[in-house]
Structure formats: C-alpha cells, structure tokens
Structure 1
Amino acid sequence: MKWDVVIAGGGLGGCAAALAACRGKLRVLLIEETDWLGGQSSAQGVPPDEHPWIEEFGCTASYREYRDRIRSHYLNKTPVLASAKSSQFNPGEALVSKICHEPGVSAEVLLEMLKPHVNEGLLTIKLNTRILAGERRERNAVALELIHENNQSRVEAPYFIDATETGELLALLDLPYRTGAEAKSETGEPHARETADPLDIQAFTYVLAMEHRPGESHVIEKPEMYDYWKSCKPDIWPDAMLSFYAPHPHTGEKRPYSLFGEDGHFPLWTYRRCYSATQFEQGESGDISLMNWPQNDYFFGNIYDVSEEEKEKHIYRAKQLSLSLLYWLQTEAPLPDGGIGYPGLRLRMDVFNTEDGLAKAPYIRESRRMNAHVTVKEQDVSPSFHPEGLGTRFNDSVGIGSYSIDLHPSMSGNNYLDIPALPFHIPLGALIPVDADNVLGACKNIGTTHITNGCFRLHPVEWNIGEAAGEAVSYALQHHLLASAIREDEGHLTAFQQQLTDHGVEIDWPDGFKVTAETASRG
C-alpha cells in the first residue's frame, strides 16, 4: 500500500492531522499504540483544558465540530433531563472545562469523525500498533518499522507526521531534539533556569475514574506500594503525598484541598468530574470523577530516553501512586465530622476498560521537542513583553491558542511554575524541524521551550497544531515543494494561510481582541 503521509500517534493532534490530510484527498495511515483514538482526551483521561472564549472563537472549525459532537452524543444518545439540556451542556458540570466528559465518548466521537474517510478508502487506522524503528536517509525520513499483534511490517511515504505523545519519531529517526529546561543564556527567558537541565521534565500522571456511592463499601485491595507512598514526603511538597495538601500552583504555599468542598477548600471531586448524575434521568451510575490531581502527579523518574527496565519501573510506581491515593481516600482520609475514609468511592474499571482500572496510557505533559525553524519563547507570550494584549503575531501563523504557562513539578525537583500568558499565535516554522525535509510535528513535540510548552500542550492547541501539519503536507504535495518552502515564499505562504482560513482555521484573533496583564490566562 502506498501512503502519501504516515501519521504516528492517534491523539488529538494525530486525528486532526488525519482529518486535514484526508480533506486534501491524501492517502493516510494513522498509527496508534493503544486501542483508543484521542490521546489526552481519551486514553489518558484528561478532559479538555480550554480558554474562556472557546464557545465563541479561538479554535478551528473541526475542533468545534468535535466539541459539538460530544454534546450531541449526550443530548441525543443518553437520557439527559429536559431541565439540563442547553446549547452549552457540560456533561460533568466540572470546574476544569465547559465540556468535561467521559474518556470513551471522545474515542467514539473521533472515530465517527474519521470513519467517512475510512469508508472512502483514503484513511487506514492501525490501533494497538507500536513503532519499532525509523529509517532516515540524509534529510528525508524513508520508512517506519511497525509491530501489530506480533506481526511486523514496513511502511514508506513521502511525508511523516510525528503526533506521538513523547516525540518518539524524533528519536527513532535520529533527529536532534531537546528535553527538559533550556538555560537562560540560550533563550533569554525571564523564568528559564540558569543552566540547562535535560531532566527538568514535568510530571506525568496515571488517571483513574471513581464513582461515589455513599453507604456502600468498595475499598480496593491494599496496593503493594501503599506504605511507601503513605510515608513519602518530597522536599518540594508541604505534606505527605497522600494527604489533602499540595503546593499552590501560583504561590507555592501550602494549599488545603478537600474531596467535596468541605470547609470551603478546593473540591477535587468536581474539579474533573466527567459525569454529573443529577443532569441525567435516574440510572445506576452516580457521579464519575477523574483523578488527575496534584497528589498523583508522578515526578520521580521519566519514561522516555531511559532503558525499558527503567520505563517499566516508573510506570508501575506511577500506577501504584494513583491506586494508593484512592486507597488512602477510602480508608484514611480525614472527614469533616472527625471520622476517616470514604469507603463508598468505587474504582470504575469500565471507564477505561483496563484490567487495573487505570487509564490506557499515562498523561504526558512534556515531550521531546524538535529543533525547529521557529522556537516560541516566553517573550512571545508574556504580558510583560506585549502591553498591547496579544502575543507575538508570527507572519507564518497557522493558528491561535490561549492558556497560562502551567508547569507541573519536575523530575529534577523543581516545583510548579504557573504564570500568566497572553493569547498567542502558532507559527508554521515551529512545526518543521531544521534537520529534516519531510517530517512535521503535530503536538507537544514542536518548537517550544520548556517554559512555553506549559501553554502549548493543551487540547485545542494540540488539535490546531495537528490540523496545520496535515494541511501543510497536503499543500506541499499538491504544489510539489517542501513544507519548509511554504513559509519561505510569500506567495505560497499567503495561499496556504488562505487555505487554512477557508477550512475553518483561525490564524488570527478577532479584530480588536486583547487582554490586560491582569486578566491574562492563568490555569
């Protein structure tokens, strides 16, 4: 089978890239390691983190269709109460998102969006497929070696898109990349480290889903590492990991949390609740909430650029941390009335359909990052550098986004960095590596720094990046030129940006739109 483009990774960026490439009538192979499409929104169990204007503007038309289809799934296929139905229905009534929903719904919706292209013969989706190796000749990627159900195969194409969660193709194709933090002398960023630290990589998290059934007992078997995690108190942490305390992301001070908002403290339950039972006709399920909290962030070791043994060790420990936090909540968490434990918390094995009840894949916040033609720096998004109220307007803009610079604790022992960022633009040059002619980035692996990764890693931005990558391959093949040449020729760049606009990609913020330093996005 001859492909026009092979997309490695079926997360939001990969799916958006596939939709865009198929829109251009390209023959596309989409490879995903798990059995679900959707990446952070599905297999990793992280509902959309979005900016305040998402319902009106600030995302691509296809991302808006994705959101609309999620709402339609609930409004048309589930017994939503008439009193709860609205054009801005939020399935989970969560604090984190205006459309917080069950992970499996994302996987189902994305498959529905892609299915017409499968039926047309343009798109082939290979789930449960890993990439074993990559082949590159000089500046061109040539082929990937895949394995699916113990069967190995080789695929070739004129273009490859890296939409993997960890920038895996960069490593497999032996392309230069960066990890962790750059030195301040390299980037000039006010919040950069004084010296570079490749291990200063943000925590990853294994998410699990819980239901609360008061008056019942659903206590899980005591996790093997429970005693270890119960006694664990890292130097950067204000209390034990298994507690209702964590550093405040903005100030670093000791911050009290609660499960249901007791004593007015931040309610972890409604934070990422993905199913709010009061909005639905009476059924068997109560509320369902996703555990992606400060207390189960795993910053004790990385799972890429390490040995397979080291990777498996940290995956196991990260899973044990999440399960131990659940067990602590069930058996030892202090209650407002002086009691202990919420035994009615039930691990919902069916939400992810996995043997241990945990997400199918870890939530990866920070990837390998390519050496790109453009690297977005803190100066490009900081209100301190842009009193006009918008980030740098790159002339090769292929999209827009907005979120705070939100860095979680890192493997090097650095704590949160959560500072304001202005609405920003996505430059095409950040998607194109300097050292390859036929490889593009489609998610967290693009030309950002450790600092700006913190505002470029969220759902609508990843989608926009992937869609722009798919469109760029389509335009490059149609006009018989390199993707990098699109931005180097004013005529081609203008035509390409018009193509994006025609397909519903917003490459600029609305006329007159700006924010003040005081109201700049903060996670």
Structure 2
Amino acid sequence: MAAELAADMVVIGGGLGGVSATLAAARLGRTVILVEALDWLGGQLTAQAVPPDEYPWIESVSASQSYADLRHGIRDHYRRHLPLTESARANPRLNPGQGNVSTLCHEPWVAVKVIDELLAPHVAAGRVTVLRAHRLLDAQADGDRLRAVRVHDLGSDRMRVLSAPMFIDATEIGDLLEMAKVEHVFGAESQAQTQELHALAEADPFDQQAITWCLACDYLPGEDHTIDKPADYERLRTLQLACWPGPQFSWTLSDFVTHQPRERPLFVGDTDAESLYDLWHARRIAWRKNFEPGRYASDITLANWPQMDYWEKPIVGVSPAAQAEALEQARQFSLAFFHWMQTEAPRHDGGQGYPGLRLRGDVLGTPDGLAKQAYYREGRRIQAEFTVLEQHIGVKARPSRDGAERFLDSVGIGAYRIDLHPSTRGRNTVDIDAFPFQIPLGALLPVRVDNLLPACKNLGTTRITNGAYREHATEWSIGEASGSLAAFALARGQPPRAVRADAALLADFQRVLEKQGVLLAWPHFGALTPTHRVGYRHAIGDRS
C-alpha cells in the first residue's frame, strides 16, 4: 500500500525553479514537499552542469534577493572551504573558473551544497520535506483541480501518494502538465498563430531545440586518457546539419547570428590566460591559478558546445521508449565528440588530437564524466491566460519602442537574448536581441486548472520567447513568483487566477513580492535599453 504524505504545496522537480518556489513558499510559512528524481537539486545549474547564463548587469542588478543569496553562497563556499589564493579569496567578484560566459563559472557540486544550505533551515523547521530519487508516476485530478500525485521511491522501491491544495510543475520538460492533463503546447508555433517575426510558416510540435549532454574535463599534456571509441563513432564523426558549413565534429561552426562559417577551436593560445576566445575558456569552471599552487593539476572546463548539440530526434511528445533512445543517443553523441577531440581534432600547435583531455565525473557526481541529466532547452508550455510573444520583448519586433512591454501584473524580471539552438527538423539557430523584460502573472496561470502553476520554462511563452525566458536567473524568478503566488492564494482562500483578476489582490501580492526582495520592473529601464538595442551578448559571443 502506498504511503501518503500531505502538505500545503507539492513541487515536482528540483531544478532552479522548483528550489526557488519551495524557498518562497516556505518563507511565507507554507509547508512544501519537494520531489526530485535525481540525488542532486539544482537542475540546469548542477545536474545538467551548465554554468549560469545571466544578463550583463547581474553583479549590480539582481532580479531578486534570493537569487543574489544563491550567488553569494557559492562564492562564500569557495572562500570558506576551498584552497583559494589570497588574491582570489579577497576578490569580491570571485569567478572560480574565470570562464567567459558568466562572472560566476563554478563547479556544479558547489552549487548543490549551497542549495542544500539554503533549504536547511526550512527542512529543520519541518516546513520543507525533500524527496530525492523519487520519480513522478501519475496524477489524480477532480475536474479543474489536481488532487494528488503518485511517486516512486527509487531507493526503497516504495510508492508514495502526495496530496496538497496547490501543486507546482518544475519538471524539466513539463511532465506533470501531461500527466494532469493541463492544456499545453510543445514545439514550434506558426506565424498565423502568433504573428511573430521568427515563428515558422507552419506549426510543428516536433520541431524542437537540440538537447546537449554536457561533460566536464581537464587537460594533462603528455598523458593519455583516451576513452574507448563509441560504437556509432564512424557515423557520428561525419554527421552534418544541412545548414552547417561542414561536419559537426569540427572547429568550423555556423555562426549563431550570421550563419556564416566561424572558427572556434579548443585552444587559441595559453591555457592559463584569463580570457581567450576559444572553447576552453568559454565555460571553464575551475581556473587552477585561483587556487594554491599544486591543488589543481589543471583547469577544469565544462563542455556545452555547438558540436555537442543533439538534434537527430525530438524528446518531447514521443513515446517513453523513443525518448529513452534519443537520450542515450545524445549521451553517445557527446562521448563521440570527446573521443574525436582526443584522437582526431586539429591541434593549435599543428598536431592531431588531445589525448591529455580527461573526463572529470567527480565534479559532476557521475562515474563517466557526463552530467547527471541532459540539458533541456525547451519542453511543454502551459496554455496560459496570457502568452508572452516576440512582439512583447524582441527588439526587431518592437522597432518604435524603447523597451519591452510593461506588464501591470508583473511578478518579476529577467533578461536574455532570444536564443534557439538547431532543431530536430534541421533548422539553423535563431539568435536575436530582446529587451530586458518582465514576467507577467498571466503567463503563470493555466487556462483551466485552478491549483497548478509552472515554475520554469513551462510558463506561457511561445517557442520563440521561451528562448529568452529559459535561462538560470529567469527560471529562478519564475519559480519564486509561482511559489509566492501559491502561498498568497492559500492565505487568501482564493485560486491563483483570482489574484490577477482583482486589482486590490494583485497590488497586495506585488507588495508581498517586493517585501521578499523581488524586483517587478527594471530600475532605470531606459538606461539599459540602448545597450540591449545594439546587441547585448557576452564579450565572446557564447550561448547555451
């Protein structure tokens, strides 16, 4: 017989949105059960091993105090526990890896510990119960309300039934939306549906962005750490998108903005340099010169590169068997690229192959050097009371405007360019400027179901605007808004949609958010938009 647990809220998915939603609700006095299929919390930041992709002003303007606390905690953990040099320890903007994509490139296991520390006071007080290694099985609904979910304890092989008046879907691809029969979409909409400049001529649910199975490695010249050749290596090493200038396993890429050939080698010079335009420095998560001499034998870098984008098969909306097959192929794709780098890749010194590259599963919590989970760039999205369109945030789509649409029901802010990777239909990248934007409450409200909210990239966006709303800081803000909304609605005895429908309730809720340290609008909004209009991108033009 299945054990039963109850709380004010059940959060399915322990990624950044799920963690943020849990913390927000717990701060407001609610009890929460947080469910995660893996042993690590943190999603794209940890289990998927993607260093934070953030807007350029993150060090001076944080979307919320709680996200700033997460970033501070990561730096503080390095200062308290790891053998930094004195100069690194004293640096207020310590970047442990000195990577180029973020001012806080760091080892994923550190973020895991910090997230656990943030949750610890609420766990100790009995407000939060974390169920790791629990997989969602199904959902039970009564009309327009979700009543319970059933989960499988992968450790004990027991079943648990979790009930609550409020549920949050923070799964990576919107699994709870499907199981609870919440109206949703996936894949690409058409221009006829959304009138977006960059939407497809015809809708295609199976036109989905590539996933990437990230890996971590260091480099020990003179040593040989060559992995076994993957079984499908000979086919994969010559695989080529029709829109690319050559095989995917190459240093020649399709530029993600211009679509012209672009050289991006592993190294272009000294591997100890602080900032070089190559793959090694893009997502370097540990720079050995930040640490006491001899403590790190090498830098450690995180590989999440265009050559590793797996686009052959879609992940969402297919059978479980087809999904499992595609995920395994994505793993093999990344291993095959790593083997190519070790054995065949043109070297910066004129040779061939880097056998000294070594997989570092220890920093990812795995035995094989790959991340615990694939990096998912899109999934199911709710059909919402309000859907964010390119016309609301895109620079080209708003030629006469000085910023993004201002939403009266804003519950947070975010900023990132619209970034779509190659698709499972072989389409090339879409990378266009977007203004710093707000998160409208209407995008968190399903059109029918009363007590389920999204907490990550499953909110009411299109496939186009998902490309701006899916990154780390914005996902955290979406989760914080949903967790706070669930707690506020429970306290008022109202469904979440009533908060948006009532001006007084909405104003009260926005004051609650602001009291928690959430920004609802960009400060000095006009001062930021000129930077954005000319194309805000990281200095090296990287993307995830």
1:58 and 1:509 in contact (8 A); partners too: no
Q: 1:466 to 1:27 in 2, by over 3 A?
A: same
| Cα deviations by residue, 1:159-198 (Å, 9 ceiling, x for unpaired) | 0000000011110011121111111011111111111111
What's the secondary structure of 2:463's corresponding residue? coil
| Cα deviations by residue, 1:235-287 (Å, 9 ceiling, x for unpaired) | 12221121112210001111111111259994000101000111100214310
Aligned to 1:88: 93
- Is 1:483 aligned to residue 487 of structure 2? no
Aligned to 2:64: 60
Aligned to 1:35: 39
Counterparts of 1:284 and 1:101, CA distance in 2? 14
Match of 1:245 among 249, 252, 257: 252
| Cα deviations by residue, 1:191-217 (Å, 9 ceiling, x for unpaired) | 111111111111111011001111111
Match of 1:281 among 267, 282, 292: 292
Counterparts of 2:205 and 2:276, CA distance in 1? 36
Aligned to 2:534: 519
Match of 1:473 among 455, 461, 486: 486
- Is 1:441 aligned to residue 454 of structure 2? yes
- Is 1:198 aligned to residue 205 of structure 2? yes
Shift of 1:338: 2.3
Shift of 1:520: 4.2
Counterparts of 1:261 and 1:388, CA distance in 2? 41
Q: Which stretch of structure 1 is more off in the superposition, 334-343 or 389-398?
A: 334-343
Counterparts of 2:527 and 2:145, CA distance in 1? 41
Alignment of 1:443-458 (within 5 A): 443-458=456-471
Aligned to 1:369: 381
Shift of 1:479: 0.6
Counterparts of 2:349 and 2:101, CA distance in 1? 28
Q: Which stretch of structure 1 is more off in the superposition, 81-90 or 457-466?
A: 81-90
Counterparts of 2:316 and 2:244, CA distance in 1? 25
Q: Percent identity?
A: 44
Q: 1:494 to 1:520 in 2, by over 3 A?
A: farther
- Is 1:132 aligned to residue 137 of structure 2? yes
Counterparts of 1:20 and 1:509, CA distance in 2? 21
Counterpart of 1:425, as a letter, is Q
1:7 and 1:18 in contact (8 A); partners too: yes
2:186 and 2:316 in contact (8 A); partners too: no
Shift of 1:308: 2.1
Counterpart of 1:303, as a letter, is I
Q: Which stretch of structure 1 is more off in the superposition, 281-290 or 291-300?
A: 281-290
Counterparts of 2:422 and 2:238, CA distance in 1? 19
2:217 and 2:369 in contact (8 A); partners too: no
- Number of residue pairs matched by the alignment: 523
| Cα deviations by residue, 1:76-104 (Å, 9 ceiling, x for unpaired) | 21111112231101011011100011111
What's the secondary structure of 1:210's corresponding residue? strand
What's the secondary structure of 1:513's corresponding residue? helix
What's the secondary structure of 1:147's corresponding residue? strand
Q: Which stretch of structure 1 is more off in the superposition, 422-431 or 344-353?
A: 344-353
Counterparts of 1:128 and 1:486, CA distance in 2? 34
1:206 and 1:318 in contact (8 A); partners too: yes
Counterpart of 2:534, as a letter, is T
1:422 and 1:520 in contact (8 A); partners too: no
Q: 1:368 to 1:132 in 2, by over 3 A?
A: same
Counterparts of 2:76 and 2:268, CA distance in 1? 30
Aligned to 2:53: 49
Match of 1:178 among 182, 185, 189: 185
Counterpart of 2:328, as a letter, is Y
Aligned to 1:272: 283
1:257 and 1:265 in contact (8 A); partners too: no
Counterparts of 2:377 and 2:201, CA distance in 1? 22
2:49 and 2:214 in contact (8 A); partners too: yes
Counterparts of 1:284 and 1:400, CA distance in 2? 38
Counterpart of 1:53, as a letter, is W
Aligned to 1:112: 117
| Cα deviations by residue, 1:24-75 (Å, 9 ceiling, x for unpaired) | 1111000001100000000000010000111111411000000000011112
Match of 1:225 among 205, 229, 232: 232
What's the secondary structure of 1:379's corresponding residue? helix
Match of 2:329 among 306, 314, 317: 317
Counterparts of 2:74 and 2:418, CA distance in 1? 27
- Is 1:14 aligned to residue 18 of structure 2? yes
Cα RMSD of the aligned pairs, angstroms, is 1.5
Aligned to 2:175: 168
What's the secondary structure of 2:351's corresponding residue? coil
| Cα deviations by residue, 1:403-451 (Å, 9 ceiling, x for unpaired) | 0000000111111000010000100110110120000000000000010
1:3 and 1:27 in contact (8 A); partners too: yes
Counterpart of 1:145, as a letter, is R
Which segments of 5 or more consecutive residues in structure 1 lack a partner in the other structure? none
Match of 1:75 among 71, 74, 79: 79
Which segments of 5 or more consecutive residues in structure 2 lack a partner in the other structure? 538-542
Q: Which stretch of structure 1 is more off in the superposition, 194-203 or 505-514?
A: 505-514
Q: 1:49 to 1:284 in 2, by over 3 A?
A: closer
What's the secondary structure of 1:329's corresponding residue? helix
Counterparts of 1:303 and 1:183, CA distance in 2? 20
Aligned to 2:508: 495
